[in-house]
Amino acid sequence: MIDEFTESDARVIVVKPNKSSTWRANLYVLIAISIPSLGAAIGFTLLGAWPILPFAGAELIALSAALYYVNWNLEYRQVVTVSDRNVKIEKGYFVPKKTWIWERDDTALNVITAKNQWEGPALWLHNRETRTSLGEFLNKDEAEDLLKRLRGQLPVRTFGSERNVTL
């Protein structure tokens, strides 16, 4: 998912993974699964088959951990702020963990063509010293949309396959 807006004198592009469900909806699903599972486990425990209860609990704990892990990974954000003088790239979960600030004149876009028709192009922002990828989790249409938005702000200095990339 790509959001774009203007903040004072800068253009801000927020790139994040698609999220089909919220954490609250995941909790409702977990509760809906827990009630019959624990109900059956408690019923069998009362009938004397007590080993079922720990396995039902372990199953629910594993499901909870998996839902939490997936939800955590879907909170990842990449924020590109393009002002008149600088390009600022921030990456992280909830808050920026990595930040790059480059001069706009030295910053360019590197486009690596897709390997097949179902993938989108791989996008990298780079300056003379370093580079960082953008939108590696996006589908084909969203990657092409991000490329269109970035082309409006930054020049494309390299375009082609990964073998031909020179910085």
Same domain for 158 and 82: yes
pLDDT digits (tens, 9 = 90+) for 66-81: 999 999 888 899 999 9
**DSSP per residue over the chain, as a string?**
-EEEEEETTEEEEEE----SS-HHHHHHHHHHHHHHHHHHHHHHHHTT-TTHHHHHHHHHHHHHHHHHHHHHHTTEEEEEEE-SSEEEEEEEESS-SEEEEEEGGG-EEEEE--SSTTSPPEEEEE-SS-EEEE-TT--HHHHHHHHHHHHTTS-EEEEE-GGG---
The number of distinct structural domains making up the chain is 2
Digit-coded pLDDT (tens) for 81-112: 999 899 999 999 988 999 999 998 889 888 88
Q: Are residues 39 and 69 in the same domain?
A: yes
Does residue 13 share a domain with residue 34? no
Same-domain check for residues 85 and 148:
yes
The answer on 82 and 32 residing in a single domain is no
- Please tell me the distance from the alpha carbon of residue 66 to that of residue 63, in angstroms, as a whole number: 5
Domain that holds residue 61: 23-73
Residues 47 and 119 occupy one common structural domain = no
Same domain, 83 and 56: no
Whether residue 51 is found in the same domain as residue 124: no
- Regarding whether 111 and 60 lie in a shared domain, the answer is no
Return the percentage of the chain with pLDDT > 70, whole number.
Answer: 95
pTM, two decimals, is 0.75
Residue 160 pLDDT > 70, yes or no? no
Q: Are residues 92 and 121 in the same domain?
A: yes
